[in-house]
Amino acid sequence: MRKKQGFSMEQKKARWGWIFVSPALILFSLFSFYPIITAFYTSFFNKNLLSLQPPRYLGWGNYKYLFNSQEFFDSVLNTAIFTAGTFIPLVVFSLILAMFIMSIGKFQRFFQMAFYAPAVLSSVVAALIWLLVFDPRGIANYGLNLFFRTSGVNYHWLSKAGMLRLSTIIVYFWKYIGYFTIVFVAGIGAIPTTLHEAALIDGTSRWQNFGM
């Protein structure tokens, strides 16, 4: 009678992988998937949180109201502007900063910590700093007045719609560019230098070497 074969090494690795990952999956499902499903289900009802009455079923009524609301489309537009205005500059400038850090021989750790410092800063502290910057008497108005050669002009960073979008993008960019820079530094540092040396010996330009 043949003996029953045990698990192979790959099967054991996969089993232990699922064991170690399962707590994170359970927590993620509990705090992410469940609220999403619950919110979608609740969106078909009219529920007054301060009332003991059961929620009233509306069907697609909430969605009809939503797509007929100008405020909804304004929020979608603002979100799209914010996303495009932060994601593209973050990727471009963080990659440039990462290449700068990797190209210098000294003080790499210093620049990494300097750029990453805003990412670990408390959001409350960051908000207080930028409230002072965007104050009518703050450095933001002073800088624009100096650039445009004006005097005492208030550019309404936190009151006009366009300037409010710009100020939000600036704050987000300032806070998270260090995080993306460190991610690019880690990725670039993982590439063996022998690959770049071989490419340069083969006659590639620096731009081609960067894109490989």
Question: What are the structural domains of the chain?
Answer: 10-68 (no CATH), 75-211 (1.10.3720.10)
Q: Provide the H-helix boundaries in 104-160.
A: 108-120, 123-133, 139-148
In this prediction the pTM is 0.72
pLDDT digits (tens, 9 = 90+) for 12-68: 888 888 999 999 999 988 998 999 999 999 999 998 888 888 889 999 999 999 999
Number of H helices, E strands in the chain: 10, 2
Residue 179 has pLDDT above 90, yes or no: yes
Residue 1 has pLDDT above 50, yes or no: no
- According to the model, what pLDDT value does residue 211 have? 61
